[in-house]
A = this chain, B = another copy of it.
Amino acid sequence: MAKKHDHPCAIAATLNVIGDRWTMLLIREAFYGTNRFGDFLKNTGISRNLLTERLNQLVEDGIFMRQPFADRGTSHVYELTEKGRALDAVFLAMSHWGNAHIYGEGNEPVRMIDDDTGLRVDGFDLVNSDGHPVNRSKITLELGPGGDGRTRNRLAAVRKFPFS
């Protein structure tokens, strides 16, 4: 991928791993069960050389594990690591937003169903470290231990989120 963002920010850091046109599509495939080079290729439309590069990078970043697979030829299996599976929240958020705001109600290509009730999965509640729900409009940003002067200045300007 391109040059990395280098300021202390979790969004920037995350974009350094998944912030390009293809990576989240590869991770979507992994969640769908795809684990072979050729299947990633076929199901996403990425070019071969980019796929090679992206898979290598994702293995290096600890998102995929690569294991030999004795089939025909030189085969490997790519599986999500725990760190990779933890991207499920990003997957779900993007999936929900795309359904709601690009396709719109009644036009979703794929829906997620809650097996227990048969109802559609339909959003998220934020929870705090006690597991209790958080009011999305009452969140404050705080300088963390990994922040620096830039972070402090940045937060000094704005602390309230317009979450809804």
Contacts and interface: CB of A to CB of B under 8 A. Distances in A.
B90 A151 contact: no
Place the interface of chain A in its size category.
35 or more
B98 A11 contact: yes
Interface string A124-162: 111111101111101111111111100100110110111
A41 interface: no
Interface in A1-51: 1-2, 5, 7-21, 24-25, 28, 31-34, 43, 45
A100 B115 contact: no
Contacts of A70: none
Interface of A: 1-2, 5, 7-21, 24-25, 28, 31-34, 43, 45, 80, 82-83, 85-103, 106-117, 119-130, 132-136, 138-148, 151, 154-155, 157-158, 160-164
Given A110-B144, A113-B142, A142-B110, A95 B134 contact: no
Contact of A124 (B9, B34, B124): B124
Given A25-B12, A108-B145, A163-B85, A128 B135 contact: no
